[in-house]
């Protein structure tokens, strides 16, 4: 049972990346999913989340209008499309799910809401 984030890499400012969060061993469709990031020397920051059944997504203020979260339950995968990337977006990006008892069609970008975390993927924005 695991979550695996992938799709990170090195990109120039203004560029784009699409991250994927794929579940194995369980059905992601039953869960809301959050994306978080952690930059060197900083705490973990909520980036975005999406509720079960394509519930209304939420975005952190720093990424609104630039990032888009989506889900493909047939592929057991959540995506984070990141456009207009800035050096400040450089971080390790993680996806996470909450306990099943807390799942709803809405979602949260609060770290404490989630208890199952995947390994992260590094995103570096630099010229």
pLDDT for residue 53? 81
Here the tokens at position 100 are 């099943």
Q: Tell me the pLDDT of the chain (127 aa) as tens digits.
A: 999 999 999 999 999 999 999 999 999 999 999 999 999 999 999 999 999 887 789 999 999 999 999 999 999 999 999 999 999 999 999 999 998 888 877 899 999 999 999 999 999 999 9
Per the CB < 8 A criterion, the answer to whether 26 and 1 are in contact is yes
- Chain-centroid distance of CA 104 in Å reads 17
pLDDT for residue 91? 98
Number of helices (H), then strands (E), in the chain? 0, 11
pLDDT for residue 3? 95
């Amino acid at each position: 049972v695991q979550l695996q984030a992938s799709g990170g890499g090195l990109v120039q400012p203004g560029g784009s990346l699409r991250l994927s969060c794929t579940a194995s061993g369980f059905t992601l469709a039953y869960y809301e999913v959050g994306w978080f990031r952690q930059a060197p020397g900083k705490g973990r920051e909520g980036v975005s989340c999406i509720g079960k059944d394509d519930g209304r997504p939420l975005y952190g203020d720093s990424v609104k209008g630039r990032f888009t979260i989506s889900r493909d339950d047939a592929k057991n995968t959540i995506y984070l499309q990141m456009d207009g990337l800035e050096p400040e977006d450089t971080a390790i990006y993680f996806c996470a799910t909450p306990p099943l008892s807390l799942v709803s069609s809405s979602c949260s970008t609060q770290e404490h809401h989630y208890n199952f975390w995947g390994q992260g993927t590094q995103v570096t924005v630099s010229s």
